[in-house]
């Protein structure tokens, strides 16, 4: 896309926080060019929290943002959808501390954006293109990004369960492919872990209506899985939501091997800590560089 975008009209959704269990309403609204994605806590006099890597507070089981002690939790699904559907600027009004989980996937947020519509400004969209390979590793887990003129990802997961095991997905992320192939994939967990998570104060709002749950041998959800590799697809959805905190559309090939929110955040921080690792350019500048490379 050549130009920045926003929503045409407001759209609203109401649900429950996955971890907090609190009722919450969000309202997506148009925002001026150059705004980015800005959360507004309407229960706290519209206190603003930008969707930025600078405000990452917690990355355990979800990605939370904090500014001056004010929290927004479980941001990754909504940010993943906004990013992948090409929405650059929006106000996200929210009346509690956690984005609603809805059905556990990105699909309800895609439908929300489709209801709102997308409009474009005359301001040129500026992309962040990675210039050289970057890798973050920790105890057999790894996430890397390689230079590329598109946004591509390879996501690899491995869980010790007969219905999951090792799964891999590789794709160029476009709005069409994202909406069809990643957005419907739901968050998931294992029955063996539920008691521990609840003891940690998590998943208070979880149910089979908003998460896939595996027992020792089967899927407990009456409708089963939406994809045979739904777990891997959802991890890719999460990954995109965390990368969205860069604040610009990304050009590069991200390869995540058993990575999670903490490693995603570490990669983003590593990229943004060193301006020599990337360049900022418009669509037209990118097209010109690609054309010159083909001629030479």
111 backbone dihedrals φ, ψ, rounded to 5°:
-65, -35
What is the Cα–Cα distance from 99 to 104, expressed in whole angstroms? 11
DSSP 123-182: EEPEEEEE-S-EEEEETTEEEEEE--SSEEEEEEEEESSTTTEEEEEEEE--HHHIIIII
Catalytic one of 55, 77, 234, 261: 261
Whether 246 and 272 have beta carbons less than 8 Å apart is answered as: yes
Cα angle: 125, vertex 128, 130; to 5 degrees: 155
DSSP 260-272: -HHHHHHHHHHHH
- Three-state secondary-structure class, residue 202: coil
What is the Cα–Cα distance from 260 to 162, expressed in whole angstroms? 21
* Phi-psi sector, 79: left (phi>0), alpha (psi -120 to 50), beta: alpha
Beta strand 118-124 pairing with 250-257: unpaired
Q: Is 77 a catalytic residue?
A: no
Paired with 154 in beta bridges are: 170, 255
Residues annotated as part of the active site: 261
């Amino acid at each position: 896309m050549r130009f920045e975008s926003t929503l045409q009209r407001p759209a609203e959704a109401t649900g429950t926080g996955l971890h907090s269990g609190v009722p919450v309403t969000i309202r997506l609204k148009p925002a001026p060019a150059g705004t980015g994605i800005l959360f507004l806590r309407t229960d706290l006099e519209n206190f603003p929290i930008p969707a930025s890597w600078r405000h990452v507070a917690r990355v355990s089981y979800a990605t939370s943002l904090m500014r001056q002690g004010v929290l927004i939790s479980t941001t990754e699904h909504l940010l993943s959808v906004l990013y992948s559907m090409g929405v650059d600027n929006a106000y996200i009004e929210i009346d509690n501390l956690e984005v609603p989980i809805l059905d556990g996937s990105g699909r309800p947020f895609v439908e929300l954006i489709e209801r709102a519509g997308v409009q474009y400004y005359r301001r040129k969209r500026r992309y962040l293109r990675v210039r050289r390979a970057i890798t973050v590793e920790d105890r057999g887990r790894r996430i890397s990004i390689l230079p590329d003129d598109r946004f591509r990802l390879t996501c690899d997961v491995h869980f010790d369960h007969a219905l999951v095991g090792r799964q891999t997905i590789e794709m160029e992320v476009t709005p069409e492919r994202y909406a069809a192939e990643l957005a419907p994939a739901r968050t998931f967990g294992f029955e063996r872990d539920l008691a521990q998570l609840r003891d940690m104060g998590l998943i208070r709002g979880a149910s089979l209506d908003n998460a896939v749950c595996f027992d020792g041998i089967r899927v407990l959800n009456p409708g089963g899985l939406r994809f045979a590799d739904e777990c891997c697809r959802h991890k890719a959805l999460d990954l995109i939501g965390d990368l969205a905190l860069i604040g610009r559309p990304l050009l590069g090939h991200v390869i995540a091997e058993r990575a999670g929110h903490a490693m995603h955040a570490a990669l983003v921080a590593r990229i943004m800590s060193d301006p020599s690792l990337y360049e900022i350019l418009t669509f037209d500048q990118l097209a010109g560089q690609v054309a010159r490379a083909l001629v030479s």
